[in-house]
């Protein structure tokens, strides 16, 4: 089951947030090898294509700890660029895991990787 990764930041407008979301989606795919796509919802009848949901990425599968460590590495780079960023993982209708900049600044990233791994495994049930 896909997991939704939502981005938020108090100091980005919708246009900047969506551009950042597109970049992050590309980086997750290209650098971390994660199957990710921009969140979208069907457009109205007669319109072409779907509407992108601002600040939302669908992660199709997050496998073993290596993929999660790569994901954390990518998120850490984004927080270094934009400290106000927050990330939230959620399975459709399920539990949420919120990650803030301070979580990604920790010296021991192993604990954060384990927290995400445990949450994601629980989300896959």
For the sheet with 96-99, list strands across it.
35-42, 50-61, 3-8, 86-91, 96-99
Asked if 25 and 38 count as a contact pair (C-beta separation under 8 A), the reply is: yes
Question: Is it the case that residue 54 has pLDDT exceeding 70?
Answer: yes
pTM: 0.83
pLDDT digits (tens, 9 = 90+) for 67-103: 888 888 899 889 888 889 999 988 777 788 898 888 8
Mean pLDDT, all residues of the chain:
83
Among 61, 72, 63, 57, residue whose Cα is nearest residue 115: 72
Q: Which residue range(s) make up the domain with 119?
A: 3-123
pLDDT value of position 125: 47
- Overall domain count for the chain: 1
Decide which of 122 and 104 is more confident: 104
């Amino acid at each position: 089951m896909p997991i939704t990764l939502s981005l938020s930041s108090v100091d980005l407008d919708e246009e900047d947030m969506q551009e950042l979301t597109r970049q992050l989606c590309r980086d997750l795919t290209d650098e971390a090898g994660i199957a990710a796509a921009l969140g979208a919802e069907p457009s109205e009848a007669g319109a072409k294509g779907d509407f992108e949901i601002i600040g939302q990425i669908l992660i199709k599968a997050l496998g073993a700890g290596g993929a999660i460590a790569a994901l954390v590495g990518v998120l850490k780079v984004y927080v270094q660029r934009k400290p106000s960023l927050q990330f939230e993982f959620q399975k459709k209708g399920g539990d949420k895991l919120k990650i803030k900049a301070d979580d990604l600044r920790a010296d021991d990233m192993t604990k954060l990787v384990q927290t995400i791994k445990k949450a994601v495994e629980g989300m896959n049930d």
